[in-house]
Structure 1
Amino acid sequence: MNLFSSASSLAHMIRDRKISPVEVVTEYTAHIDRKNPEINAYVWRNDDQALEQARAAEQKVLSGDTTQPFLGVPVPVKNLSDVAGQPNDQCSLAMDDTPRTETDPAVQRLIDGGFTLQGRTNSPEFGPLTVSQNRKYGATANPWNLQRTAGGSSGGAAAAVASGMAPVAHASDGGGSIRVPSSCCGLVGLKPSRGRIPQGVAGWEHSTTEGAITRTIEDAAGLLDVMSGPDLTAWYSAPEPAELYMYSYLRDPGSLRIGLMLSPPTGLPVDDACLEATHAAAGVLRSFGHTVVDATPRLYSPQSIEDFQIIVSAWTGANDVADESLLDTYIRERVQQGRSYDATQYAAASARIQLETRDILPQWGQDFDVLLTPTMATTVPDLTVVYDEANTASLAERTTELRMISFTSFVNMSGQPAISLPVHQDAEGLPVGVQLVGGAFREDVLLQLGRQLEQHFQWQHTLASLQTGIQA
């Protein structure tokens, strides 16, 4: 087997009895032993339990029960989500590691799809930062260059996949936390629509979503099928797609109008490599028959952007922390800030974002079908610069972090689907991603366009070649 095989191909080989789930888990465990000390993607391991799960999967294969689409394929869980029997300290010294008694709905969907849960990956404390670094576990390095960050908040997930320690990884996104690390690590990062994947609690006023980081569009489609679907116990669910994404992603999207947005809503500068990546993607999309036009869409007002910060801070302040001195400085400040808001401020913030969203969403389908942007306004930052800025500067002065989410956070506010695709490398050979933002609930269109770009750029082969040649 190849450590850089897609989850879909591993699943096929397991079903065809060309490899066994035990062999797969054993190979990834050995590679984690080799690579994790320098990358720090995994912060908790369950090697014995993963092997037990693999043996159970092997027995299913031998008995002819191969109905689960990803039977025997390993996947790590981001260390912000609950799994029964596993700790979830949310990467914080202030949280204990008592095993949880319930499993979050999105993770349960992975289990139901046949995945073997193998380890937990690093994140910033409680999640609200664009790099995966914290006082408890330290920083997750980028497998392409260990002196650079893997991004966040799903940086541990991205680093695990990019280094060959996992074929795919569970992730989540509240302002760019799937797309940012995918861009940093040269991967595919699909942020699903609001309500597409079930959550126990829809955080940040329903702006957060669960998802996955993958190498291929096929895996992105397959995991979306496994993780999504109606949840009758949730406040609401996204409408069901007309067909499974594993089928719809293969369809021709036709000739679409692609809006090209190169200036971020924050007004911050954009690095040349990020612009080059976006122009390269635009050129390929034109070659597939799409019309690419400059776009300056109406997005959220400065007041609504401040409102979103109120919501994020309020949710951070809701964490039950016995000893706040154990928190990172920026988290402690955000907790205190969040507790200073009253219910009236929170309600007004939520209402204003909802009302402005009603004016924003109709642009998709009227002015353009899909929006194309850089994923980040900056190339991959140095390993600790964002974390250091967060702990020493005010929120307004944290420019590196803001440049990382300049193009991504509005999509969480609006609830739209978006995907980051690794189409370029900068002068230092580091990955640069572009983002496609779809209309409400149109993940199928994003996957179809992603497949066209994947056919041209062949990023999955570039990643495997670079990593096996340099880092393995």
Structure 2
Amino acid sequence: MDPFDSAVRLAQAVRKRELSPVEIVDAYLERIDRFDPEIGAFVWRNDEDVRRAARRAEQAVMDGEELAAFHGVPIPIKDLTMVAGQPATFGSRGMSDAPRTSTDPVVTRLLDAGFLLMGRTSTPDMGMLTATESSRYGITRNPWNPAFSSGGSSGGAAAAVAAGLAPVAHANDGGGSIRMPASCCGLVGLKPSRGRVPQYLAAWEHATVEGAITRTVSDAAALLDVMSAPDDLVMYRAPEPRRPFSDEVGRDSGPLRIGVLLEAPTGVPVDPECVAAAERAGRLLESLGHTVFPASPRFYTEEAMSGYAQAVLDASLWAVPYDDPEKAEPHLRFRMERAATRHSGIYTRAAALMQTESVEVRAQWGRDFDVLLTPTLACPPPQAGACLEEANANPDGFRLTEVQMISFTSVCNISGLPAVTLPVHTSSDGLPIGAHLIGGPWNEAVLVRLASALEELDGWPTRHPPHLT
């Protein structure tokens, strides 16, 4: 078994009886034993549970039962997400490791699709950092070079896939938390549209979304298909797609107008390596017949951005039911204390401003360009440990690395637009650097078409950290 194979191909091998779910699970657990002590992708393991599930899945194949799309394929769950019977510590010393009693809708859909739940992956305290570093679990390191960060907040998920410890991994994104670590680790990170994947709690003023980190575009599309099954109990949902997202893989998108933005909306400097990633993606897209041109889109005012970063996120953090908030990271305790100094009108004004400004932001797609191309990050993957140290040392100050990491990604969460990062560039020191495509409202389909065409030209699924093969 190739541990870097796609989940789609592993599922096909199970259906054809070329591989057993037991063989697949055992192969990944053995790799976790070997490689994860250095990487730190997993914070909790359920080896015997997943082996029992694999044996049941194997028996279902032998009995000729009808098999779901990903029958017998293992997937880890990010430690921000609830699974009944598993702990959910949210990466925090302030949370208990007691088993939870409920299961979030995205996990139910993964189980319905035949996935086997294999452990939980690391996240920073409450997902509130651009690197996966915490005083509870330490540092999740980049499989390409452990001196660097795997990104955050889904850094454990990205590190697991990049290291071949899992074929795909569940993740979520409230400001770039799927795309930042996917970029750092050389993977595909598709952020769905707001409301595409059902959530009972649309946190951070509806900015958070559920999704996955994958190696291939076909996996990203197929997981989006199964995760986005409708749920009548959620407050709202995205419009039904025209066809399954898997059917968009390899489909001709026709000539598109692709605007290119290389300057960070936040005004921070953009590293030349990140510019090079976007420029390379632009050349590849041009070779496919698309019109690629410089764009100057309007994003959010400083008041709206600071309202999201402070009023909304501070208040959301204050509302978290910590078991012991005094054990939260210092930079988060500062946020909670700051939230308590603001009255509710400030929050309401921030939320209203984000909504009203989003109308004009979203209107640019289809009018001024069809897709927007940017660097994913404005900086290469940072040094391991640097982001948490910086945040705790200066919770009220300007943190350049953190702002550089979210400069191009967070606007998609405020606006609800879909986006994908693709690993099209490698820095001079051997680290992956992603390019970022932002689609129009509800238009994941065009991103899947473009991403699959770029994947065919670039061939990134064959690139792996050499010391982990």
Q: Same fold (TM over 0.5)?
A: yes
Is the aligned partner of 1:301 residue 2:306?
no
Q: Paired residue for 2:325?
A: 324
1:17-32 alignment, distance < 5 Å: 17-32=17-32
Is 1:443 the equivalent of 2:444? Answer: yes
| Residue deviations 1:178-217 (CA, integer Å, cap 9, x gap) | 0000000000000000000011200001100000000000
1:86-105 per-residue CA deviation (whole Å, 9 max, x = no partner) reads 01111111111111111100
In 1, distance between residues paired with 2:15 and 2:215? 21
**C-alpha separation in 2, matches of 1:272 and 1:27:** 39
Deviation sequence 1:264-296 (CA, Å, 0-9, x none): 111000111111111111001000000001001
Does residue 427 (structure 1) correspond to residue 424 (structure 2)? The answer is no
Separation in 2 of the partners of 1:342 and 1:239? Answer: 35
CA deviation after TM superposition for structure 1 residue 393, in Å: 1.2
What residue in structure 1 maps to residue 459 of structure 2?
Answer: 458
In the TM superposition, structure 1's runs of 4+ consecutive aligned residues that sit over 3 Å from their partners are: none
* Contact 1:39 1:141 (8 Å CA) reproduced: yes
Q: Which amino acid in structure 2 is aligned with residue 380 of structure 1?
A: P
Question: Residue type of the partner of 2:29?
Answer: T
Counterpart of 2:247 in structure 1 is 247
Gaps of 5+ in 2: none
Alignment correspondent of 2:67: 67
After superposition, the C-alpha distances for 1:61-97 in whole angstroms (9 at most, x for unaligned) are: 1122243000000000000000010011111111111
Q: How far is the alpha carbon of 1:366 from its aligned partner?
A: 0.4
Residue 335 of structure 1 is matched in structure 2 by 336
1:137 aligns with 2:137: yes
Contact 2:315 2:336 in 1 (8 A): yes
Whole-angstrom CA distance in 2 between matches of 1:35 and 1:158: 14
Range with bigger deviation, 218-227 or 329-338: 329-338
Contact 1:273 1:379 in 2 (8 A): yes
The aligned amino acid for 1:427 is S
- Structure 1 stretch 187-196 or stretch 453-462: which is displaced more? 453-462
Structure 1 residue 197 corresponds to structure 2 residue 197: yes
Tell me how far 1:396 sits from its aligned partner.
4.0
Tell me the residue number matched to 1:152.
152
TM-score normalised by the chain length of structure 2: 0.98
Task: State the alpha-carbon separation in 2 of the partners of residues 123 and 395 from structure 1.
Answer: 22
| Structure-1 residue corresponding to 2:7 | 7
- Greater mean deviation of Cα atoms: 50-59 or 204-213: 50-59
Structure 1 residue 322: deviation in Å?
4.4
CA distance in 1, matches of 2:240, 2:65: 27
Aligned equivalent of 1:371 = 372
Aligned partner letter, 1:332: R
The amino acid of 1:446's aligned partner reads L
Partners in 2 of 1:322 and 1:29 — Cα distance?
31
**What is the rounded CA distance, in whole Å, between the counterparts of 1:44 and 1:340 in structure 2?**
36
CA contact (8 A) 1:229 1:240 kept: no
Relative to 1, partners in 2 of residues 1:395 and 1:371: Cα closer, same or farther, differing over 3 Å? farther
SS in 2 for 1:313: helix
Shift of residue 319 of structure 1? Answer: 1.3
Does residue 399 of structure 1 match 2:400?
yes
Find the counterpart in structure 1 of residue 41 from structure 2. Answer: 41
Distance 1:299 1:419 in 2: 18
Residue correspondence of structure 1 range 207-246 to structure 2 within 5 A: 207-246=207-246
Gaps of 5+ in 1: none
Residue matched to 1:471: 468
Checking the alignment, whether the CA contact within 8 Å between 2:200 and 2:233 is kept in structure 1 is: no
Measure how far apart 1:395 and its partner are.
Answer: 4.4
Retained in 1: the 8 A contact 2:424–2:460? yes
- Whether contact under 8 Å (1:125, 1:328) holds in the other structure is yes
Give secondary structure in 1 for the equivalent of 2:19. Answer: coil
Which residue does the alignment assign to 2:260? 260
What CA distance in whole angstroms lies between the structure 1 residues aligned with 2:200 and 2:346?
25
**Would you say how many aligned residue pairs link Structure 1 and Structure 2?**
468
Q: CA deviation at 1:363?
A: 0.5
- The residue identity in structure 2 corresponding to 1:270 is V
Write the letter of the residue equivalent to 2:388. Y
- The answer on whether the counterparts of 1:318 and 1:339 sit within 8 Å (CA) in structure 2 is no
Q: How far does the alpha carbon of each residue in 1:41-73 deviate from its partner, in whole angstroms, 9 at most, with x for none?
A: 000000000001111111111122243000000
CA distance in 2, matches of 1:325, 1:342: 23
Render the CA deviation track for 1:398-439: whole Å, top value 9, x for unaligned: 110110111000110000000000000000010000000000
Secondary structure of the 1:126 match is helix
Q: Per-residue displacement from partner, 1:438-471 (whole Å, max 9, x unpaired)? A: 00110010010001110111001012xxx3x323
319-328 vs 94-103, which moves further: 319-328
Amino acid at match of 1:164: G
Secondary structure of residue in 2 paired with 1:147: strand
Q: Distance in 1 between matches of 2:413 and 2:53?
A: 35
- Give the counterpart letter for 1:367 in structure 2: D
2: CA distance between counterparts of 1:101 and 1:339? 30
The one-letter code of the counterpart of 1:180 is M
Using the aligned pairs only, state the percent identity.
50
Give the TM-score taking structure 1 as reference length.
0.98
Judge conservation of contact 1:230–1:238 (CA < 8 Å) in 2: no
Q: Secondary structure at the match of 2:322?
A: coil
- 1:317/1:337 contact within 8 Å kept: no
